[in-house]
Structure 1
Amino acid sequence: MTHTPLLAEHGGPDDGPPADFDFSTNASPLGPPPALLRAVRAADRRSYPDPNYRALRRRLGDGELVLPTAGGAEGIRRLTLAALLTGRREVWVPQPGFGDYALAAQALGLAVKPYARPADIRPAAPALVWICEPCNPTGESVATWPGVDALLIVDRAYEPLRLQGEAPPLPAGAWQLISPNKALGLTGIRAGYCVAPAADAVWAHALSLAPSWVLSAEGAALLMHWLDEDTQAWLDDARAQLRVLTAAQRALLAGLGWQQRDSGTNFWLARPPQADMLPRLRERGIRLRDATSFGLPGWVRLSAQPPAAQQALQLAVLEIEGEDS
């Protein structure tokens, strides 16, 4: 029996030449914080980290309930397997949403159940429910989450990039998956962590399924300084700058006739008037994220970028429109 490989689609580097201006990744373009970067560069690469990451886990919260992960993607795969091993048979995923939730479930033969609204979640079997708050790719949030009898995991990768509104209360008994590298502008360092509500069977499996030394020395250094006061102050300032960049870029796209959806983050969904805009921009060194894999053909996800990138995008769009006139 043969199996077709299941491959995720992402923003960021593709197999073409390096982009001059990359709007496709939803990471912050402002990082990293100088003090945290110095700590990462000073990480001791000559020896193994503590394989149990005891000091790091205490730094991040209750050391008995914190589990380091090699970024959010590894955490998604590991927690989905832990869900299977504890009897879950359905995996509910936001639609549109990050493709790795469904891919991790499909790879294990679990039933994938997409939902557009929290009210749509109605498990018919023991289930894992993924919540992305704020949601990727929309940047949207919900006010409240209804009670569901399921294993709930809230992916909070984009919480530090929330520019408007407040985070809704966490559902009772929910896990948290935290990936700071996007907000820090250090996506090349794969480091994150889970926070469990209790040391139950899911926690025990998630702990035992971790590879040895799941974090590199650099990843451990990043997380060790994630909660530092200067890192959090830097993030406050970065969010203020991102609000300005986001407002300017949305106004620019509106002036070019692009349709745009609301978002509370530094990234959002937009629809250019020309159907072939995406590859033509790529030819000009500008990359946007095709939203077809999110179930939104004709739409793109793009993130707020500095003024030089915004100007390059505007000039390229006007050039393309001039060619078509």
Structure 2
Amino acid sequence: MTIPLLPEHGGPDDGPAAAFDFSTNASPLGPPPALLAAVQAADRRSYPDPGYRALRRLLGDEDLVLPTAGGAEGIRRLTLAAMLAGRREVWVPQPGFGDYALAAQALGLAVKPYAEPADIRPAAPALVWICEPCNPTGASVAAWPELDALVIVDRAYEPLRLQGDTPALPPGAWQLVCPNKALGLTGIRAGYVIAPAADEVWARALSLAPSWVLSAEGVALLTHWPSTDTQAWLADARTTLRRWTTAQRALLADLDWLQRPSCTNFWLARPPRPDYAPRLRERGIRVRDASSFGLPGWVRLSTQPPAAQQALQQALLEIEGEDS
């Protein structure tokens, strides 16, 4: 029997609910009140328009926008569409979100990890995944070069960029947009793809979509995503997150944690000893063990409110006291 390849994520596990969850990289400030009201008022009695025509027109060119059931479904569907269109290699950021590689491995495609854009050298028709800014590192690049491949940019964390500008993307790149993390509504699986042209990959991705890929709540979320009110709320949220991030980084630095640079509300950190993640979990605090990213001893943390930071500080001081 073939053992299934399963992704590993942060967020809820099978233990008691964590009082303070630093493992999720979603915004702790969402959702915007008007958008939440629209989601709660979504008409669950009827199917949405199966073609999502009005929504697609709102989000861009109706003929080039494809709704997805969140980023993970989009990654799976686009990888399959790329394979059916003749792509044989899949280049994935390392460290990076595990679903890129798992989607390719499930289809028997060659997985090629890369650390820097210069590492990408396709030897066969290829799909290249870019996560900008990157999960789990929160890193960004100055600019992306032109690539001889089908390029799809996962932009789930672009609304959570706290420093720097969005880099230039490769010409002809596809874009995968997943607003639910920035909105603090990860339980609503809703996103969309913007294709550069209605080519064979686009046609296959359209035909591979399940019927009614978006729920009524998903339609409501995406309908209000580009609104002026939502975008103004996000701008204010980023201001708050910058302040909280500065305080949380200083807290960890005072306790001798090694921290990597990041332009987002999440980053990689290395505690003084490798057993901090389970010991924090025992105290009702969850961080994301980065071993599955190929970084044993490291964790990924997200910015959380001051009360959560105080709880984290107290727990870390208790652990240090036990070890002294």
TM-score range, shorter chain: over 0.9
| Mapped pair 1:71 → 2:42 | no
The equivalences for 1:251-290 within 5 A come to 251-290=250-289
CA distance in 2, matches of 1:286, 1:90: 39
Alpha-carbon offset, residue 5 of structure 1: 0.6
Q: Where in structure 2 are the equivalents of 1:112-261 lying within 5 Å?
A: 112-261=111-260
CA deviation map 1:268-322 (0-9, x unaligned): 0000002111100000000000000101000000000000000000000000110
Corresponding position of 1:105? 104
Gaps of 5+ in 2: none
Distance 1:72 1:278 in 2: 27
Matches of 2:190 and 2:274 in 1, distance apart? 37
Q: What is the CA distance between 1:144 and its match in structure 2?
A: 1.4
1:148, distance to aligned residue in structure 2 (A): 1.4
TM-score, length-scaled by structure 1: 0.99
In structure 2, C-alpha distance between the alignment counterparts of 1:26 and 1:267, rounded to whole Å: 6
Secondary structure of the equivalent of 1:215?
Answer: coil
- SS in structure 2 of the partner of residue 308 of structure 1: helix
Percent identity at matched positions? 83
TM-superposed CA distance for 1:234, in Å, is: 0.2
**Aligned residues between the structures:** 324
Residue in 2 aligned with 1:44?
43
- 2:313 is aligned to 314
Q: CA deviation at 1:26?
A: 0.2
What SS does the corresponding residue of 1:305 show, helix, strand or coil? coil
**1:167 CA drift (Å):** 0.6
Q: 1:96 & 1:139 partners in 2: Cα distance?
A: 11
CA–CA distance in structure 1, aligned partners of residues 295 and 132 of structure 2 = 19
1: CA distance between counterparts of 2:139 and 2:84?
A: 32
The answer for the alignment partner of 1:8 in structure 2 is 7
Per-residue CA deviations over 1:2-31 (Å, capped at 9, x if unaligned) read 211100011100011000000000000000
Distance 1:144 1:169 in 2: 5
> Which stretch shifts more, 140-149 or 39-48?
140-149
Counterpart AA for 1:287: R
Deviations 1:185-213, CA, capped at 9 Å, x for gaps = 00000000000000000000000000000
Q: Distance in 1 between matches of 2:176 and 2:53?
A: 18
For residues 222-278 of structure 1, give each alpha carbon's deviation from its aligned partner in whole angstroms, at most 9, with x where no partner exists. Answer: 000000000000000000000000000000000011000000000000000021111
Partners in 2 of 1:15 and 1:157 — Cα distance? 26
Distance 1:240 1:145 in 2: 27
Q: Residue 202 of structure 1 aligns to which amino acid in structure 2?
A: V
Paired AA for residue 201 in structure 1: E
Distance in 1 (CA, whole Å) between partners of 2:146 and 2:58 is: 31
Quick one: which amino acid aligns to residue 161 of structure 1? L
Q: Which stretches of structure 1, 4 residues or longer, exceed 3 Å deviation after superposition?
A: none
SS in 2 for 1:316: helix
* Alpha-carbon contact 2:145-2:169 (below 8 Å) kept: no
| Displacement after TM superposition at 1:169 (Å) | 1.0
Q: 1:145, 1:305 → 2: CA distance?
A: 31
Kindly report the root-mean-square deviation, in angstroms, between the aligned alpha carbons of the 2 structures: 0.4
TM-score norm. by structure 2 comes to 1.00
**1:54 corresponding residue in structure 2:** 53
| Ranges in structure 1 where 5+ consecutive residues have no aligned partner | none
Q: Offset of 1:170 from its aligned partner?
A: 1.6
Cα distance in 2 for partners of 1:146, 1:197 equals: 17
